[in-house]
Structure 1
Amino acid sequence: MTDKQVDDLNIASQDVLITPNALKEKLPLSDNARQTVISGRETIRNILDRKDHRLFVVIGPCSIHDTDAAMEYATRLKKLADEVSDTIYLVLRVYFEKPRTTVGWKGLINDPYMNDSFKVEEGLHIARKLLLDVAELGLPAATEALDPTTPQYLQDLIAWNAIGARTTESQTHREMSSGLSSPVGFKNGTDGSLDVAVNAMLSVQHPHRFLGIDPEGRVALTTTKGNQYGHVVLRGGGGKPNYDSVSVALAEQALEKAGVSTNIMVDCSHANSNKDPGLQPLVMENIANQILEGNESILGLMVESHLKFGNQKIPPNLDDLEYGVSITDGCIAWDTTEEAIRSMADKLRDALPKRQK
């Protein structure tokens, strides 16, 4: 017999990480933070159930790489959220994981120091600490659920989840979403196809059984109850937008035909703004006008926004990073954010209560 190795041929190393329970013991939820999460989830569910007339808007940096800038943004957003709370429910976008088409920086959890050191355990600590600080402000947080392992570490702090265009078709992510504690938005495919999101919504509302990890980090057969708060996120695709009234009407028809929720969220970035962040306020204005003209299906928006406009590449010397500027997709600046949100709130203040059923 030969003793030639047959497994782990391409594995360089494996490092044991802190367990989810151990991380939560180090960075526990306070009563105040817990209430923020509970209230955030309940409010979004009520909006999706048409019990709350407000529009919910997930807004913030494309990705988090600087927690100081993130907290400055969060503090400003909380003040704005209080100002428009009668009409718009603002949820902070806190994205720690970034899907890559080929290679690139995969987010704060995977590489928190942006130097290919991949200090994942430190990334988990930094991410959880930021979410706790945001929750202490009384601001609900949203994220993209990408790696199926990380929810055990962070999901107790999340009010809303997105499943991205690259992963909406993934069975793994549909199964995971069926067990998430928050509402989940499924983006249409990168080619603009709505079918993958519709199929995901059909799947997620049912119970699933799959391999996962338990709070002690052990591999476990996970059985879910199903998530009844899945909804579609229109983000454009194939080089074309799909937020216009015709595209929205077609989406409504497809969702109704499939027998799933006709609740629609519009992602103002990506193909819907032709990847030009400066066009996002125009998309927001268009959506407001559709609601004024009688649309009843659009209940939420996503907007990529940061302290400063645009984006930047990660420089060889990290000291050269410009504070408050995204290192992934481009964002609108804070002053533009305030203006766009206030304008939308002013337009919709009287109209939104009238469409509540």
Structure 2
Amino acid sequence: MNKSFERRLFFKLTVLGIVLVLIQTILQNNSAFLDILNTLKYYAKPFIYGIFIAILFNPAVSYIEKRFKLSRIVSLWTTFFIFVIVLTGVLLWFIPNLVHSFEDIIHIFPALQDKFTIYLRDIFKFLREKDLLLMNGAEIQKAVEDFFVSNIEHIKNIVFSISLNVVYWIAEIFVFFLGLFLAIYFILYERYFMGFFRNLVFLIYDENKAQKACEFIVECKNIFLNYISGRIFVSFIVGLVAYIVMWFGNVPYNLIIAVMIGFGNMIPYFGSIVAGAIAFLLVVLVEPMKVWYIFLAMGIAQAVDGYVVGPLILSKSVGLSSFWIIASVIIMGNIMGTTGMFLGVPIFAILKLIYTKLIKKKREELSIEDKTNNDSKEC
């Protein structure tokens, strides 16, 4: 028996055994398995940050290196210096305005609850007068009041937790900087890490498979880079357009609403809906006549995303249909939460890439077999 075949068979049996053990573990002790996954996620977080930072910054570093004929390390530090300068300028303008908006919202929360109750009672009074209520209006009104008031309290608690949970954010910033430190190594020694991965594949398979594995990694990297950078840019444009429209309309809390719309746009379909609903509720309780500017801002921003910027930036980044984009957001959101909703699209795009390659390989094998069979018949 061929030694290469023996190695491949051993590797496949090993992987199959690990998968069966994992399935058995999940079925027998689900809570313990989830604890293990959470622990692994905690320790892997710096590496995840590092990989994403490296993927995002590597094109800029490579451009500066080739354009200005600088060394790799000088290009890296130049890129980080430019990024820090730009980010600092944006944050110096952005954070004070955002903090002021949060303080105002916290201060007027009791008034917002009272206004919401008054508006709701007026709506149900109108419906009763027009005989448009088919069910017990009092019970419906009470349920709606309890639902929105409780969720407003949740929003208030989230705002407080963001502002007061200093220890968590300090720890998260520390983990991020660990990831940044690792990203420097990933960028500087990109060839070394690719060569290391290539050698690992070569230990199990042959040189041809090792080369194809490296090409596959590059394709995955391009999918993540094109999608994430494109989504960030498109979301920034969407948030900026929404802010400009609301600034002209003098909409209250226009900055924080624009930030919500921009961040919401990072999650396809669902994010914009949630951000728009929160923005509508916030403005209608403060200045109801300005709520039309929310619809105008959302409409213009989504038109820019759907017909101008989005097709130019994201048209070739993932190659998924609308159905699979929605499915990826739902499935990965249930598995990984908000992070999964953001990363679900590129993850499914990579799964589609694997699926396409397997189908192509299968078709090639079948065509070879068909050709062999035809040749044997002719003989």
TM over 0.5: no
Q: TM-score, normalised by structure 1?
A: 0.22
> Which is higher, the Rg of structure 1 or of structure 2?
2
Q: Which has the higher strand share?
A: 1
Please identify which structure carries the higher helix content. Answer: 2
